[in-house]
Structure 1
Amino acid sequence: MKLQTVDIGKTASAASLIFEAVRKAIIEGDLNEGEALRQDELARMFNTSRIPVREALTMLEQQGLVKIERYKGAIVAGLSLDETNEIFDFRALVEPEVIRSAVPQMTQSQLRKARGYIDKFARADDPMAYGDLNRKFHATLYQASKMTYHMNAINNSIDRIDRYVRAQLVQLGGMERANQEHRKILEACEKGDANLAAQLTADHIIGAKTALNAHFQNAAS
């Protein structure tokens, strides 16, 4: 099992640390769909008991990243095409409204920070960096909305599909398209055009959905 581990035997927040480590490994594709997450092995890797491991797996199940099956235990959850489309459709409804609310409140500092992520995205040569920079760019713009509940919902949704989005960015050559769309969204924000930023964000999400659908269908054929 490929995980970044630490010795947390005497750590009060052991469950949270295990949760974050496994979550990161799933999102970044280090743990594959259907891979078993054995409690004994995880407890040994993190030098702790099975109790925080069970708590961490329960939290991961609640986020849809892990599926706990009778007689089989915990495995990395997969996504059907219908589930993927539902998540993208949800994002296409929520994220445009968040950025619409955010634009009038954006500071020059936030806009510069977002542009910095775009520039790093364009220069990145590590495939795993694409997904991180993509998320940081959008989150930087959305934070100005101060819509905490919406942000949490968006983050949970992205967690479910992030490993597929990363694969789409790398395998389907989506980096250039994403970079161009990011720049257009940021330009609309810099101009204070909230409606345009919202429309471009919706188009950006639906475009990613279309590309990922094609990826799923080609893999199935």
Structure 2
Amino acid sequence: MRPIEARSVSTQVVEELRRNILSGALEPGEGLALRKIADQLGVSFIPVRDALKVLESEGLVVNPPGRGATVAPLDLDEFHSIYRVRRMLEPDLARRSVSSLNKRELDRLHQVAAELGRAERSMDDIYDDHRAFHLALIAPAASVWDTRILRLLWRASERYIRIGFRRLDPDPQEHDRRREAHQLLVEEFRKGDPAAAASALDVHLANNECMAHNALWGPRTGMRTAELR
């Protein structure tokens, strides 16, 4: 963990612990001892205690009365619930957004997709760009409340995506797949067909759900990838 600076200590402790949990550096089920974390971060235990309360409210920490705090476990039902809601919302936004995306923006997103697949970039390296790519595709149709809900869902799924897809990073073909999958999305949006855009994004989400599921829980309980029709 990185030492904490003097400014906004409580906020920084929340951000540092959140970063470590979302990245998987603090593993699901790992104990979170107040004194140990305070020593690692170079702060008193009070901001650490307060930070754990904030992270518990976000579902990232489990802190039952009378027991030590731990990193929340990865939950199969929660994971699929998040994707169920995402697949209700995001394809509909794609359907309404596609006619408002001009060629210049689609060309830019095609180049962003190429960057997402660079071999030297890990899932941690590309995560923020990846989220911005998806937001740009649906931004023309997204209201303030749509965006708030999406960011809540993306935050909830972030730990699953980072940990699951990081396990795929060592496979060189995975980087090509990421590039091709996102460039395919752009090409489907270029058609200007609302149904095609919605279908493409739904398939993309279904495939990501499947791949992350298999990376986290294994193929025994796996799902099949979807195909564009």
TM, length-normalised to structure 2: 0.78
- CA distance in 2: counterparts of 1:191 and 1:31, whole angstroms: 43
| Amino acid in the other structure paired with 2:23 | E
Alpha-carbon spacing, 1:19–1:206, altered in 2? closer, same or farther (3 Å): same
Partner of 2:227: none
Partner of 1:134: 130
Alpha-carbon spacing, 1:169–1:140, altered in 2? closer, same or farther (3 Å): farther
How many residues align? The count is: 215
Question: Alpha-carbon deviation of 1:213?
Answer: 3.3
Partner of 1:18: 13
| Amino acid in the other structure paired with 2:80 | N
- CA distance in 1: counterparts of 2:108 and 2:18, whole angstroms: 26
Equivalences for 1:164-175 in 2 at 5 Å?
A: 164-167=163-166, 169-170=168-169, 174-175=174-175
Match of 1:56 among 51, 55, 60: 51
Stretch moving more, 164-173 or 40-49: 164-173
Please say if residues 96 and 201 of structure 1, whose CA atoms lie closer than 8 Å, have aligned partners that are also in contact. yes
Partner of 1:39: 34
Partner of 2:151: 152
What are the superposed Cα offsets for residues 17-57 of structure 1, whole Å, 9 maximum, x if unpaired? 22222222222222211122222233334343333322322
- CA distance in 1: counterparts of 2:133 and 2:201, whole angstroms: 12
Stretch moving more, 184-193 or 167-176: 167-176
Alpha-carbon spacing, 1:214–1:151, altered in 2? closer, same or farther (3 Å): closer
- CA distance in 2: counterparts of 1:72 and 1:219, whole angstroms: 33
Question: Alpha-carbon deviation of 1:143?
Answer: 3.3
Please say if residues 168 and 174 of structure 1, whose CA atoms lie closer than 8 Å, have aligned partners that are also in contact. no
- CA distance in 1: counterparts of 2:214 and 2:42, whole angstroms: 43
- CA distance in 2: counterparts of 1:113 and 1:78, whole angstroms: 38
What are the superposed Cα offsets for residues 135-190 of structure 1, whole Å, 9 maximum, x if unpaired? 23213323332432232233223224223332354267544333222112112333
Please say if residues 87 and 205 of structure 2, whose CA atoms lie closer than 8 Å, have aligned partners that are also in contact. yes
Name the Cα RMSD after superposition.
Answer: 2.8
Partner of 2:25: 30
DSSP 3-state at the match of 1:64: coil
Q: Hey, which bits of structure 1, 4+ residues long, moved more than 6 A?
A: none
Alpha-carbon spacing, 1:70–1:206, altered in 2? closer, same or farther (3 Å): same
- CA distance in 1: counterparts of 2:175 and 2:219, whole angstroms: 19
Identity of aligned residues (%): 27
- CA distance in 1: counterparts of 2:19 and 2:58, whole angstroms: 13
Please say if residues 99 and 197 of structure 1, whose CA atoms lie closer than 8 Å, have aligned partners that are also in contact. yes
Please say if residues 86 and 150 of structure 2, whose CA atoms lie closer than 8 Å, have aligned partners that are also in contact. no
Alpha-carbon spacing, 1:5–1:197, altered in 2? closer, same or farther (3 Å): farther
What are the superposed Cα offsets for residues 92-145 of structure 1, whole Å, 9 maximum, x if unpaired? 222212333333343556434423321211224132324344323213323332
